[in-house]
Structure 1
Amino acid sequence: MADLLQPFVLSLQLAFVTTLLLFIISIPLVYAIYFHSGPTKPLLKAIVSMPLVLPPTVLGYYLLIFLRPEGWLGQLSQQLFDIRLVFSFPGLVIGSLIFSLPFMVNPILSAIENLPLSYKEAAYTLGKSRWNTLWHVLLPNVKSSVVVGLVMTFAHTIGEFGVILMIGGNIPGETRVASIAIYNEVEMLNFDNADLYAGILLAFSFVVLLIVYMYQNQRPQGVI
């Protein structure tokens, strides 16, 4: 039973770490994009949203090349921290951060962009800086979108496959998350275990979406 649960424990650990780090990373990114008024703003949005349309295997391939031990980042990580980035949990975290980035940034950014401009203008009138305006005025008015971003990022990380397989492989207790475990069981023709893993992930996905839509349905009218 412990061996069967291990992939789910690893998936939950990866999803928790990824969601926490992405929340920390995404707020400055939202700030940079929202307050940027130059012609490169669409470029910034395109870069953030690229994982939505880029095939996971393509992203995983480039990450594998970028993080390999022969690369500068792989060598730096090995020399400074004695951490191998490919076929390891830290590598999965890096891949998950990039692959799930738009699921955190886009809901928050879209909600803020749909707020009335009077919110920002009133904050400026009161002498608020851009950062204070974002943190104390704009974000509190899009709390529901922040929650949706957190939940969707967590759920999306749980279901990752292509990127994880490319940069993490299938190492028990290290990189074999739940989605990889299904692939592994099917390869070994253990369809009973594959059915169990797939059924749990199916139920989890449905529950997550149900919670998100119920939360959105119950929020007060006019709240983004």
Structure 2
Amino acid sequence: MDGSQVPERRMRASDAERDEVLTVLQRAYESGRLDLNEMRERQDKALRGQFVDELPVLVGDLPEGRSLVLGDERQVAPRPRGVAETAPADGGFTISVMSGRDITVESGTREMRNFAWWGGNNFDLTGAMGPGRIVTLTLHAVMGGSTITVPPGVRVVDRSLAIMAGNEVQRDAQGDGSNGTLVLEGFLWWAGNEVKLGQGPAGA
């Protein structure tokens, strides 16, 4: 052996690890550490990140991101006052086969999943979104699709894989992220989901 070291392999990043970074960036924006443009720029880099070592640099200068940089749960920074709770909450999995239903996504929901075949649901997110909140909808569809209603100010990030299909985000439904972020995921085949603008929650 020549004594040379084998280069260390880079580890692939998971969706959960990318979502952790997105949450930190939302909290930093809410606490005034990042302006809206910088938050969005870093979010885009996090969503495109393929390897674990690409993520810490995006939050390394933020107290909210100490636990991700140091890898120590004891270093988690306290959530700033007034920032929406971002603890994971699974909204469940539904199936729509030649049918669909109206679903009101409750506040605190972080993730929801659906498979639609010749059908789809109407998802109402007007009460689920808010500053500092990230909601992921994983919507698989074959010759179908769902309608998603969001309140003003929600940024929509489309990470779906589409074949002869695609999601449609109405122009007035694409917000600046000041009212949270909606992430769309899933496999679409001859299908697509529509995101449209609704009103804010009652009493807002």
TM-score (normalised: structure 2): 0.28
The structure whose RCO (Cα within 8 Å, separation 6+) is larger is 1
TM-score (normalised: structure 1): 0.26
| Greater helix content | 1
| Greater strand content | 2
